[in-house]
Structure 1
Amino acid sequence: MTEKSWDRVPIDAQSIDAPLSQAAVFLVVTVNNEQAALATVCSALDGLDDLVKTVGFRDLSAKLSCIVGIGHDFWNRLGVDKRPQELKPFAPIHGAVHTAPATPGDLLFHIRSERTDVCFEFERILLDTLGASVTVVDEVSGFRYFDARDLLGFVDGTANPTGRDLPASALVGQEDEEFVGGSYVVVQKYLHNMSAWAQTPTPEQEAIIGRTKIDNIEIDDDDAPRKSHKSLATIVDADGNEHDILRDNMPFGRPGQREFGTYFIGYSRYLWVIEKMLQRMYIGDPPGAYDRLLDFSTPHTGITFFAPARPMLEELVQAAQKQLATVSPTGTTPR
């Protein structure tokens, strides 16, 4: 995409291009199957920007933001005929050794701030507003770990696009005109076997990741017998063009429960890029040579969302509210 074409991207494409934060909450909910629940959710989404301002005003330097992602099934419930070209449910991947499961999720709230308490306060009020209309299916509080490392000890997110490469990689362009400025979002919650990882020699860890552990230098493994995580996650199309995604992964954990993990969240202009990345990780390239990181990190969730630009999010909410206004309390349309 040319730079000129990006002049037409809405400046309010949610907050996908915000700098990586010190704290985050990843909240996934399903919306209960009643008209009243849909009405409550639409009202909450309609007031989301005001809630960000209300909580964020307490400390502007905390840079509170919240990105909303909408799942395929819930998109259909909103009653809007048009849909992003690639939006579909997460497809489970069954490799010879490891599986990426698909799990439920209608809405994703990616809450970010420089302060944990600000994330907490925003989530608390949001869930109070949503009330019994939703069921929380996943809730993870993440934190920035030292110099942007994961709990395995490696720097995470080094390959993220920057500058004008960021919107070109993470935001939908003119190829889907009605959804310009939106982004496909895939989330997976990984739990690590820290004991097994600790027993793995550092050189072997580095060969698995594809970078040195201390100074984060990329390892050239083109001639290696097995591709690293870094190489398997690098996507090049048939024309030789490399396609990046924007990762905002966060470590999380509860040492008392022996729970240590990484919450993967990838924003992409094209859903197929993340899908191909996961296929290469779980199936392998060549098939069978899967990502060895999966021997230590197990996914427990897998969900696809679309985060529309704010004008489209407003249009979706208004369309749903208009439809609800024509439906009687018994769930039928008045004559």
Structure 2
Amino acid sequence: MPAPTPQAVLAPLTESAIFLTFRLADGDDAGSQVRDLLADLGGLRRSVGFRIPEGDLTCVAGIGARAWDRIFDRPRPAGLHPFREVVGATHRAPATPGDLLLHIRAHRLDLCFELAQLVTGRLAGAAVVEDEVHGFRSFDQRDLLGFVDGTENPEGEERRAAVLVGDEDASYAGGSYVITQKYLHDLTAWKALSVEQQELAIGRSKADDIEMPDDRKPSNCHVALTTLVDADGTEHAIVRDNMPFGRVGAGEYGTYFIGYARDPAVTERMLRRMFVGEPAGNHDRVLDFSTAVTGNLYFVPPADLLDGAADPS
């Protein structure tokens, strides 16, 4: 039997992305309407992307725990559950409504926008958009805090091993888990810090993106708390496709965090370390300037399962 084909979770970063979070409507027909859309999603993407093939249009669909049972007549993937709120002494990662995620990306925003329009039209009456973020690639792959984002993403076979489900849940091999959060930044307060203070909060140099040596790296910096290494030296990685977003007139500036992983427990442990601290109270310094306002967990089925979604069995 051929290996299952994953969705485009391993696609390279692009200049543009649209993140759509849907909430399913009440009623028995909503699940079947979403199933039909998921089965046609590959065709819709090809129809739009064919016009500008160099635009590299992709679309990844993720399904939340509450919606899974309404869309598929099959057991949930082993690690799929509602996003678990993380509450620390100072900061909180909330759980917010979200049944279906579409991560649309391309080198051109018009491609993303066209596909987003087609998809939302097909879901009319079955799902409403709970959250919509238009992301852009900023200078030198930097976020709006001014630091390069995603430097430590794994590459090659390590990337596949970190992201794709294997024999541990054979029925869903080739799938992945994705956690999303929308962070809003207080750029006024952040920019009031010196460059050195910013670097100590992140754990990397700002100009040349070099990680600080361990003897200088603060225990509450972002890099220290999001690097997971077991006692035997095994490091657990995820793939981040984060993107900046904003509304200048509203003074809203942020980062859309989207982390793909083979096991959602890896990302969840990172979030606990950030928000609660390890030890407790030693929270991520960046959270003093960045507030999480959404939080969701989804399973990304392999493309083969998605293509056959119109058959709920």
TM-score, length basis structure 1: 0.90
- Superposition pairs for residues 110-125 of structure 1, below 5 Å? 110-125=103-118
String of CA shifts for 1:186-226, please: whole Å, max 9, x gaps. 00000000000010111010011010000001102346553
Change in CA separation of 1:224 and 1:165 when aligned onto 2, cut-off 3 Å:
closer
The whole-number CA distance in structure 1 between the counterparts of 2:78 and 2:122 is 31
What's 2:290 paired with?
A: 297
Offset at 1:179? 1.0
What's 2:274 paired with?
A: 281
- Superposition pairs for residues 215-254 of structure 1, below 5 Å? 215-222=208-215, 224=217, 226-254=219-247
The whole-number CA distance in structure 2 between the counterparts of 1:15 and 1:197 is 34
The whole-number CA distance in structure 1 between the counterparts of 2:2 and 2:148 is 34
1:171 and 2:189 are equivalent in the alignment: no
Count of residues paired in the alignment = 313
Q: CA RMSD in A?
A: 1.5
1:38 and 2:31 are equivalent in the alignment: yes
Task: Give 3-state SS (helix, strand or coil) of 2:269's partner.
Answer: helix
Change in CA separation of 1:95 and 1:155 when aligned onto 2, cut-off 3 Å:
same
Offset at 1:262? 0.1
The whole-number CA distance in structure 1 between the counterparts of 2:257 and 2:63 is 17
Runs of 4+ aligned structure 1 residues displaced above 6 Å come to none
Q: Is the 8 A contact 2:19 2:101 kept in 1?
A: yes
What amino acid sits opposite 1:119 in the alignment? C
Q: Is the 8 A contact 1:80 1:316 kept in 2?
A: no
- Superposition pairs for residues 100-179 of structure 1, below 5 Å? 100-179=93-172
Q: Is the 8 A contact 2:34 2:123 kept in 1?
A: yes
Change in CA separation of 1:91 and 1:122 when aligned onto 2, cut-off 3 Å:
same
Task: Give 3-state SS (helix, strand or coil) of 1:203's partner.
Answer: helix
Task: Give 3-state SS (helix, strand or coil) of 2:8's partner.
Answer: coil
Larger Rg: 1 or 2?
1
TM-score, length basis structure 2: 0.96
Q: Is the 8 A contact 1:30 1:104 kept in 2?
A: yes
Structure 1 gaps of 5+ residues are 1-6, 321-335
What amino acid sits opposite 1:15 in the alignment? A
The whole-number CA distance in structure 1 between the counterparts of 2:278 and 2:3 is 35
What's 1:331 paired with?
A: none
The whole-number CA distance in structure 2 between the counterparts of 1:133 and 1:86 is 26
1:258 and 2:259 are equivalent in the alignment: no
The whole-number CA distance in structure 1 between the counterparts of 2:280 and 2:229 is 17
String of CA shifts for 1:128-177, please: whole Å, max 9, x gaps. 11112111100000000011000000000000011111100111111111
Change in CA separation of 1:215 and 1:156 when aligned onto 2, cut-off 3 Å:
same
- Superposition pairs for residues 78-89 of structure 1, below 5 Å? 78-89=71-82
What's 1:309 paired with?
A: 302
Task: Give 3-state SS (helix, strand or coil) of 1:287's partner.
Answer: coil
The whole-number CA distance in structure 2 between the counterparts of 1:85 and 1:29 is 23
Q: Is the 8 A contact 1:221 1:228 kept in 2?
A: no
Q: Is the 8 A contact 1:170 1:246 kept in 2?
A: yes
Structure 2 gaps of 5+ residues are none
Change in CA separation of 1:129 and 1:270 when aligned onto 2, cut-off 3 Å:
same
Offset at 1:39? 2.3
